[in-house]
Structure 1
Amino acid sequence: MSRHPAFLPLVLVGGLLFGFGLGLSNMARPEVVLDFLTFEDFGLLFVMFGGSLVAGLAFWVVPRFRETAPLTGRPYGRRLKSFDRTVLVGGAIFGVGWGLSGVCPGAAYASLGVGNWPILYAIGGMFVGAYAHGVWRSRDSAATPATAPTDD
């Protein structure tokens, strides 16, 4: 399936806008996130609520006006994913990493934009973790019969 020529530029603009929002709201600063996780500052809660509200409205309103995504042509619909052990383990690992570093992956890149160069250690850890996960999944999928590919 071919994508609209504006797909990648719009992804870049969306990422820059997201990063700017994280920087403006100080959510790209690990100490702010750690203050939230230790119940000292609830600003992150308001930022997440605002983002969830905008995304929720978009997911609710846009499919009522269009049947397919404008840039990819794919139909709108829910992609259900099973809730199993891998989801629990992955979520726990993500949560521990977030708590230790004070930064989730999206904010890590935005953190570079506000001059937080030591965050490169956390970004390196994310790449090592992603690589290890890929090796583990490829080893696991080699042992099981092939299934239909998904967009996950």
Structure 2
Amino acid sequence: MQRILSALLAGVVFGLGIALSGMANPAKVMNFFDPLGTWDPSLAFVMGGALTTAAIGYRVVFGTRRAPLFDTTFHLPTARTIDLRLVGGSALFGLGWGIAGFCPGGAVPALGFAPWPTALFLISMGAGMLIARRLQALPRPTTA
């Protein structure tokens, strides 16, 4: 139960940060991607603040703890290779973010501001995730 409550608290804090910084507003995000028009650099400051907080947090947590508070081990990514899936997924994420003005984390808090467009984005994102999983499950062609 503590694990679920701590995840809920982390999600609420993240959502509040996204909402308070204005990053739940797709127009504000899209203005960041328009340097020749109505450029708004505030997203860079939000990202910088998040990166700084995360870097300090990682140093503190991994420097003082062998396991998280509410689990038996840390669950960290193990992949170290840059492959087509990583580059393609990153490019697709960036294109979607630039076109829609939403990233997955910012879309959930945005439900409170613009429910229908945001719901459409979330449904489309979910459909894309399902399609990607189905494609990954297909047998891969072998090379001889």
Q: What's the TM-score once normalised by structure 2's chain length?
A: 0.88
Q: Per-residue deviation at 1:77?
A: 6.4
CA distance 1:73–1:119, shift in 2 (3 Å): same
- C-alpha separation in 2, matches of 1:74 and 1:83: 25
Gaps (5+ residues) in structure 1? 145-152
Q: Per-residue deviation at 1:22?
A: 0.7
Aligned length: 139
Q: Per-residue deviation at 1:17?
A: 1.1
Identity of aligned residues (%): 30
CA distance 1:81–1:117, shift in 2 (3 Å): same
Contact 1:23 1:114 in 2 (8 A): no
Residue of 21, 34, 54 corresponding to 1:38: 34
Residue of 3, 8, 13 corresponding to 1:12: 8
Give the residue type in structure 2 aligned to 1:52.
Answer: L
CA distance 1:75–1:91, shift in 2 (3 Å): closer
- C-alpha separation in 2, matches of 1:59 and 1:16: 20
- C-alpha separation in 2, matches of 1:100 and 1:78: 28
1:16-55 deviations in Å (ceiling 9; x for gaps): 1111111111100000000001120000100111011111
**Structure 1 counterpart of 2:118:** 119
Contact 1:63 1:76 in 2 (8 A): no
Contact 1:36 1:44 in 2 (8 A): yes
Root mean square deviation, CA, Å = 1.9
Listed as ranges, the matches of 1:1-152 within 5 Å are 5-39=1-35, 40-75=39-74, 79-140=78-139
Gaps (5+ residues) in structure 2? none
Which consecutive aligned stretches of 4+ in structure 1 deviate over 6 angstroms post-superposition? Answer: none
CA distance 1:65–1:42, shift in 2 (3 Å): same
Give the residue type in structure 2 aligned to 1:26.
Answer: G
Contact 1:68 1:76 in 2 (8 A): no
Q: Per-residue deviation at 1:63?
A: 1.5
- C-alpha separation in 1, matches of 2:34 and 2:115: 21
Contact 1:69 1:76 in 2 (8 A): no
CA distance 1:132–1:50, shift in 2 (3 Å): same
- C-alpha separation in 2, matches of 1:78 and 1:130: 19
Q: Per-residue deviation at 1:78?
A: 6.3
- C-alpha separation in 2, matches of 1:78 and 1:25: 28
